[in-house]
């Protein structure tokens, strides 16, 4: 039975009815009303923390499927869902979406955009998608909203570079909690790790549409570019892996940086073990989440604001044998965001990076969409120790991370209680 919120603007965007046809399949109802399909989508109010929490809780719970009137994918154990972590780079997001438009089978693929920043420009880019079904979910603890309290920057928090003796004299909140390098937390960096964790927890445990989904979750960033045969190749790789090496349950679909070699002729994928820096574009199933969640404490307490280095720590200390992966020799995922972001390169232009990627794909066009995917014998499976990059010593981040793992929501009042408990 459809539930209504009482807010007409929200009620126009209630989700499509979901029908299950067995434990491994979900189908979107094709008889959804199209009365309001051209109306402006309801967006949460980012100006007030409590209103934002209410709006986000409602929207995330509803899970509205855009374009459901035109596209009705069946989400089976062989399906792929693309999960995009989005921040505030509409120009690069547009390039990613442009690559989506060219991909075969994208009309059958549900794309989920996970937001941690209010940007009308970003929302406008996504709203133009007319070639596939998509959802938008909203990270509920965005520092843009919590801009004067944790998890944003509390005015009484210690500045990043202040010495500990001076911090104690000032009695700033987190004076006792410097990181490995003697620095205090910076909210924009902390948010990335929290957001990474939250969207996985939401997808695997809180999203009603995906509660019985056993297929692949393909996690990417807003500043990636995908080859047009990405979905096709991943389907064939997954099919072959289940026959030939079922213990390999994660796929890395692109190189980390060096993707200029034309290695597409063989259509092969190689065996390896996951480590930070091996590549981009992670595809995994519930098996990954179940293993990862058992190691929550190690992930949440590791002094590194980077989710990937923290995950590296988990794989080397908590998961026997680590995550065994398959990776295509010829990249299907490319990073185009090297000119922007936390680690900026002022000597490059994103358009030039995209042109280079398109040149690689054009030169290898005849080798895309291979009839068969072959799996090479493994390298000597490598192991690497995780290193501390710091930025994650504040016990509030530890507490929040553990609560996200445990699906414990946090209102402003609850956050204040946590703050008082930890620093009183």
- In sequence order, the 6+-apart residues with CB closer than 8 A to the CB of 215 are 75, 76, 77, 78, 79, 80, 81, 285
Residue 195's nearest CA partner among 401, 410, 402 is 401
- Residue pair 265/367 in contact (Cβ under 8 Å)? The answer is yes
- 383-398 CB burial, b ≥16 within 10 A, e <16: eeebebbbbbbbebbb
In angstroms, the CA 100 to CA 230 distance is 9
Report the pLDDT value the prediction gives residue 45, as an integer from 0 to 100: 78
Domains and CATH numbers, the chain: 45-424 (3.90.550.10)
Structural contact between residues 142 and 116, judged by C-beta atoms closer than 8 angstroms: yes
350-363 and 90-102 helices, crossing angle to 10°? 20
* Secondary structure letter of residue 205 according to DSSP: I
Please name the residues in contact with 308: beta carbons below 8 A apart, sequence gap of 6 or more: 276
Helices vs strands, H then E, count in the chain = 13, 13
Q: What is the pLDDT of residue 41?
A: 59
Residue positions counted in the chain: 424
- Specify the pLDDT at position 414: 76
Q: Which of 198, 88, 237, 167 is nearest to 394 (CA)?
A: 167
Per residue, what are the HEC states of 70-90?
A: CCCCECCCCCEEEEEEECCCH
pLDDT in tens, the chain (424 residues): 222 233 333 434 333 333 333 333 333 333 333 333 434 557 787 877 888 888 998 899 988 999 988 997 678 888 999 999 999 999 999 999 999 999 999 999 999 999 999 999 999 999 999 999 999 999 999 999 998 999 999 999 999 999 999 999 999 999 999 999 999 999 999 999 999 999 999 999 999 889 889 999 999 999 999 999 999 999 999 999 999 999 999 999 998 766 555 588 889 999 999 988 889 999 999 999 999 999 999 999 999 999 999 999 999 999 988 999 999 999 999 998 877 654 455 577 888 888 889 998 999 999 999 999 999 876 656 666 778 899 999 999 999 999 999 998 777 777 777 777 777 6
pLDDT at residue 15, as a whole number:
37
Q: What is the Cα–Cα distance from 396 to 51, expressed in whole angstroms?
A: 23
pLDDT for res 33:
33
Per-residue confidence (pLDDT) for residue 413, from 0 to 100: 75
| Beta carbons of 191 and 53 less than 8 angstroms apart | no
pLDDT of the residue at 344: 52
- Crossing angle for the helix pair 395-405 and 187-201, nearest 10 degrees? 10
Distance between CA 363 and CA 231 in Å, rounded?
A: 20
Are the CB atoms for 273 and 279 separated by under 8 Å?
no
| Alpha-carbon gap, residue 336 to 135, rounded angstroms | 23
> CA 121 to CA 70: how far, in whole Å?
25
């Amino acid at each position: 039975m459809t539930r209504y919120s009482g807010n007409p603007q929200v009620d126009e965007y209630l989700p499509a009815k979901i029908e299950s046809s067995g434990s491994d399949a979900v189908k979107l109802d094709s008889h959804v009303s199209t009365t309001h399909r051209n109306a402006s989508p309801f967006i949460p109010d980012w100006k007030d923390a409590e209103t934002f929490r209410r709006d986000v809780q409602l929207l995330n719970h509803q899970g509205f499927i855009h374009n459901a009137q035109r596209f009705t994918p069946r989400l089976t154990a062989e399906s792929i869902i693309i999960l995009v972590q989005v921040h505030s780079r509409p120009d690069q997001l547009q390039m990613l979406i442009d690559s989506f438009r060219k991909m075969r089978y994208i009309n059958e693929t549900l794309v989920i955009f996970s937001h941690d920043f209010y940007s009308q420009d970003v929302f406008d880019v996504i709203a133009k998608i007319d070639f596939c079904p998509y959802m938008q979910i909203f990270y509920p603890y965005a520092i843009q909203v919590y801009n004067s309290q944790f998890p944003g920057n509390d005015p009484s928090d210690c500045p990043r570079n202040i010495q500990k003796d001076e911090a104690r004299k000032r009695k700033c909140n987190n004076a006792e909690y410097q990181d490995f390098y003697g620095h205090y937390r910076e909210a924009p960096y902390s948010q990335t790790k929290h957001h990474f964790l939250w969207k996985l927890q939401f997808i695997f445990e809180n999203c009603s549409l995906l509660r019985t989904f056993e297929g692949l979750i393909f996690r990417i960033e807003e500043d990636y570019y995908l080859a047009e045969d990405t979905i096709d190749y991943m389907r064939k790789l997954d099919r072959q892996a289940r026959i030939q090496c079922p213990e390999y349950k994660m796929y890395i679909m692109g190189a980390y940086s060096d993707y200029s070699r034309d290695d597409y002729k063989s259509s092969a994928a190689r065996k390896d073990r996951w480590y930070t820096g091996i590549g981009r574009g992670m595809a995994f199933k519930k098996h990954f989440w179940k293993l990862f969640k058992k190691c929550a404490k190690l992930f949440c307490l590791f002094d590194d604001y980077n989710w990937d280095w923290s995950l590296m720590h988990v794989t080397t200390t908590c998961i026997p044998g680590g995550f065994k992966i398959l990776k295509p020799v010829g990249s299907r995922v490319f990073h185009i965001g090297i000119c922007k972001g936390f680690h900026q390169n002022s000597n490059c232009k994103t358009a030039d990076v995209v042109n280079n990627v398109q040149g690689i794909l054009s030169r290898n066009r005849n080798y895309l969409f291979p009839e068969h995917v072959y799996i090479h014998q493994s390298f000597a499976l490598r192991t690497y120790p995780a290193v501390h990059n710091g930025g994650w010593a504040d016990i509030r981040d530890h507490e929040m991370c553990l609560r996200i793992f445990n699906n414990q929501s946090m209102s402003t009042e609850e956050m204040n209680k946590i703050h008082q408990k930890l620093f009183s």
